[in-house]
Structure 1
């Protein structure tokens, strides 16, 4: 699977939250179906996402590139350290959660 294409398709056709605070809130509320974290995400943010994601059985995928590249994959001109997928749209992005 081309992860960049899957992310972009989810952003364009599904419902995705960008940003660590809003994504963490979606995880805490059990709304997220998958969380993608940039490789350079702050350790304490990743720790919180893993803690709450584990409680809700929400899969977490570590994006192999940094927040700049994750932003580009989303089609944005800004850094994205964390994104939460609420609805995948026409993408197969949720298959990333199967490799947890």
Structure 2
């Protein structure tokens, strides 16, 4: 006896899920290009320093960044008129996307280099 096969047993991937995954890979590829050709600062203290100095172009914050730290960074970024982009992954994947073997909850891009991360972050 073979089990019956119904169309309801199969789930087709949603177009939004596919787009979301490609958007995450897109930002990872652009971030890798920034690390290779531009300049970026990793970490909370260095991010606040670059925001105070006005060098930051865009700030990426991981999904599991503590709320108090997140709000402090967003406040400094608002004063510096710098874009803050929430990163979809946690601090482990953000560190890996930067090509580092450690966790980081905040990445600040100070020089974009050959990447167009500013345009891609604005479109998302």
TM-score bin (small chain) = over 0.9
Higher RCO (CA 8 Å, separation ≥ 6 residues): 1
| Larger Rg, first or second structure (1 or 2) | 2
> Structure 1-normalised TM-score?
0.93
Runs of 5+ in structure 1 lacking a partner? none
Q: What CA RMSD, in Å, does the superposition of the two structures yield over aligned residues?
A: 1.4
Segments of 4+ in structure 1 off by > 2 A? Answer: 96-100
- Aligned length in residues: 100
Residue of structure 1 equivalent to 2:92: 68
**For 1:34 and 1:73, how far apart are their aligned partners in 2?**
16
**For 2:117 and 2:109, how far apart are their aligned partners in 1?**
8
How big is each residue's C-alpha offset from its partner over 1:72-95, in whole Å with a ceiling of 9 and x where there is no partner? 100111001101100001111112
Runs of 5+ in structure 2 lacking a partner? 1-22
> Structure 2-normalised TM-score?
0.76
